[in-house]
Structure 1
Amino acid sequence: MADPEKLFRVNVVTPDGLIYSHRSSIIDMRAVDGQRAIMYNHTPILTPLSIGDVKVKRSREMSNKVDHIAVNGGYIEFSNNTATVIADSAERARNIDVSRAEAAKKRAEQHMKEAREKHDTRSFERAEIALKRATNRISVYNSRK
């Protein structure tokens, strides 16, 4: 008899509460020091995340079922076969309002242009982060199936 599939729990939490909770065979995300993937029985880890797409593969049998979640930084902690992503904000691909994200992208680009003209480094950096967040949301939305 074949071994049952080994799955672990993935939870994504923001200040607004739990936004995602499912069992997974693998989770893939961008940490500040590079791409990371976690599977069942991974060594405990706590690492900061970059703005990016957290991909949760639900099971091996459902090989094409991957949930995409846009996160704006935060941390991932894995222990006892539970992965917990803690982020200031996170959105499942299916919940992203792409027109709102595109408007945020245009605003950020405009703020970057204005900050560059005024030589305002701090405002430029804030607008650059807003642009990365908006671009990430658009990219995650487009990656959904």
Structure 2
Amino acid sequence: MADPEKLFRVDVVTPNGMIYSHRGSIVDVRAIDGERSIMYNHVPLLTPLVISEVKVKRSREMDSRIDHIAISGGYIEFSNNVATIIADSAERARNIDISRAQAAKERAEKRLKEAREKHDERTLERAEVALRRAMNRISVYNTKGH
């Protein structure tokens, strides 16, 4: 069993409230400048995140449970052995409605095609973001082997 002093709190918060709060040994995130793995006693950090998957390893054991969370960007702050992720939206893999995610992907692809045909840059950018969000949710859902 992992030494409890080597675990730290990981919270994921959205405008709708707390989505996730557990202790973990490692949290993997994708910042705008690349991948980051944060462990106990990591230097203080505040960095923006991209649309991606967050992985939280719950203990230091080899067969430890890993929680997968889809986020739509945001920030991570790590200080005093607390990792706080503030995201526009976030969903744990087990809570993702795959049919809704696939429908969102199809809608985004349709809007993307229409925006390209009309040369509408603003709609194109928004559709690209919506597509990345939907694809991230699908990817995180599939990571859990559903």
TM range (shorter): over 0.9
Deviation at 1:62, TM superposition (A): 5.9
Q: Distance in 1 between matches of 2:25 and 2:100?
A: 32
**TM-score w.r.t. length of structure 2:** 0.95
One-letter identity of the residue aligned with 1:95: N
Matched, 1:113 2:113: yes
SS at match of 1:130: helix
Q: Is the 8 A contact 2:11 2:85 kept in 1?
A: yes
Query: Shift in Å at residue 38 of structure 1?
Result: 0.1
The separation in 2 between residues aligned to 1:136 and 1:63, in whole angstroms, is 25
Q: Percent identity?
A: 72
Q: Taking structure 1 as the reference length, what is the TM-score of the superposition? A: 0.96
Instruction: Give the AA of the match of 1:136.
Output: N
Partner in structure 2 of residue 66 of structure 1? 66
**Counterpart for residue 29 of structure 2:** 29
- Where in structure 2 are there 5+ consecutive unaligned residues? none
Unmatched tracts of structure 1, length 5 or more: none
Write the letter of the residue equivalent to 2:114: E
Is the Cα–Cα contact under 8 Å of residues 8 and 40 in structure 2 kept in the other structure?
yes
- How many residue pairs match? The answer is 144
Aligned to 2:142: 142
Aligned pairs (5 A) from 1:16-95:
16-61=16-61, 63-95=63-95
Query: Are residue 4 (structure 1) and residue 31 (structure 2) matched?
Result: no
Shift of 1:4: 2.3
Describe the SS at the equivalent of 1:28. strand
Deviation at 1:61, TM superposition (A): 2.3
Does residue 14 of structure 2 align to residue 14 of structure 1?
Answer: yes
* Runs of 4+ with >3 A deviation: none
**What SS does the aligned partner of 2:59 have?**
coil
Q: Equivalents in 2 of 1:3, 1:59: separation in Å?
A: 6
C-alpha RMSD of the superposition: 1.4
